[in-house]
Amino acid sequence: MNTTIAAIDYYLPSQVVKTRDMMAETKPERLGFSDTLIEDLIGIIEVRHALDDEKPSTLATYAAKKALAKFDGNPDEIDLLIFCGIDRDYVEPSTAHVVQKNLGLKNAVCFDISNACLGFMSGMQIANSAIASGMARNVMICTGERPSKVSKVTAPHLRALEDRVEFFNKIGALTVGDAGVAAIISQSEGTSGIKSMNFRSNGELTKLCYYKHEQGIVTEGQMLMKEISAAILDAHKELLPTSLIAANIKASEINCLITHQVGKRPWERYPKIIGVERDSMTKTFDTLGNITSATFGVNYARALESQQIKAGDLVMAAMSGSGLSVCQVTMIA
């Protein structure tokens, strides 16, 4: 039984924030850095920040309403609703319950999952299994990410740092942006659908990217961007042969490659690793930054809008999350 993305859409907050403005708040010149460090080195020019009253459920709900408007089925036939974000409204109950209430999906069983930036793809994995096993007819997976709350408390912290290396290892907190995504996964009745899903995790690399917080204040953490990017690319290189075999395809047949969007250097290396042309790749990091678990959904939906992805195209999603976890998912649009 094949499953497919029956409907997908996204929401981007209206507030645009320049990375050079956030860097200016940290007074980087005292350590020999420029206000344009993130823009020049990582390629992220600007990100989106949610308004103060926009919770993770709010961002997910906005996206979900747009996805429901594209769904040909009956909303009452959505049997499962999974919220897959890093950020949540509460410790309990699950944020999925809030989204369910907002949408009126009274028949949907709700729960949250969390897997860092890979959360949405893990949600797709669960949705695919639930439909294939007959446990659900249609599954909504959604996320609403507000990492800007970390950015806002990190800037004053960076301003107080005197260690140049520590400063550099923590500027990754200024590269993230807010977004919401929702998709409805259904049984495929045609040629479209997921061909293969290949996941791998390596807990030995947990400390490459992590943070802890208490009452909203970050107390510990770092993002070793060079090291984690290298580890992710290595993991994708190792995973690729089994992904191609599982999908029964050649890399040259891939029409569109969607990758996790953390910056220009890893983005530029993916074509050689996967074996595709660069113009087949989606790109959002420059104007949206790292939108964490919303990355795949925003890139896929925008590629459909622009017709970079057309019906019948072969798509590969090469996604990742701290932990370290990666996945390669192939599908026919």
- In whole angstroms, give the CA distance from residue 40 to residue 45: 8
Q: Is there a domain that residue 159 lies in?
A: no
- Look at the chain and report how many structural domains it folds into: 1
10 falls within a domain = no
Percent of the residues in the chain that have a pLDDT greater than 70, as a whole number:
97
Q: What pLDDT is attached to residue 208?
A: 74
Domain region containing 316: 191-332
| Cβ within 8 Å of residue 76, ≥6 positions away | 105, 106, 107
State the CB neighbour count (10 A cutoff) for residue 56. 26
**pLDDT for residue 239:** 97
Give me 146's structure tokens.
């507000």
The answer to the question of residue 219 being in a domain is yes
Say if 119 falls within a structural domain: no
* pLDDT confidence of residue 323: 87
Contact 90, 99 (CB under 8 A): no
Residue at 231 is within a domain: yes
**How far apart (Å, rounded) are the C-alpha atoms in residues 10 and 299?**
9
Residue 123 included in any domain: no
**CATH number assigned to the domain comprising residue 282:** 3.40.47.10
Per-residue pLDDT of the chain (333 residues; tens, 9 = 90+): 589 999 999 999 999 999 999 999 999 999 999 999 999 999 999 999 999 999 999 999 999 999 999 999 999 999 999 999 999 999 899 999 999 999 999 999 999 999 999 999 999 999 999 999 999 999 999 999 999 988 988 888 899 999 999 899 889 889 999 999 999 999 998 888 999 999 999 988 888 777 776 655 566 777 777 888 899 999 999 999 999 999 999 999 999 999 999 999 999 999 999 999 999 999 999 999 999 999 999 999 999 999 999 999 999 999 999 889 999 999 999
Residue 237 resides in a domain: yes
| Confidence at residue 205, expressed as pLDDT on a 0 to 100 scale | 82
Whether the CB-CB separation of 317 and 296 falls below 8 Å is answered with yes
Contact 150, 218 (CB under 8 A): yes
The pLDDT tens digits of the residues spanning 144-155 come to 999 998 898 888
Contact, 184 vs 5, CB < 8 A? yes
Alpha carbon 88 to its chain centroid, in Å, reads 15
Please check whether residue 295 lies inside any domain of the structure.
Answer: yes
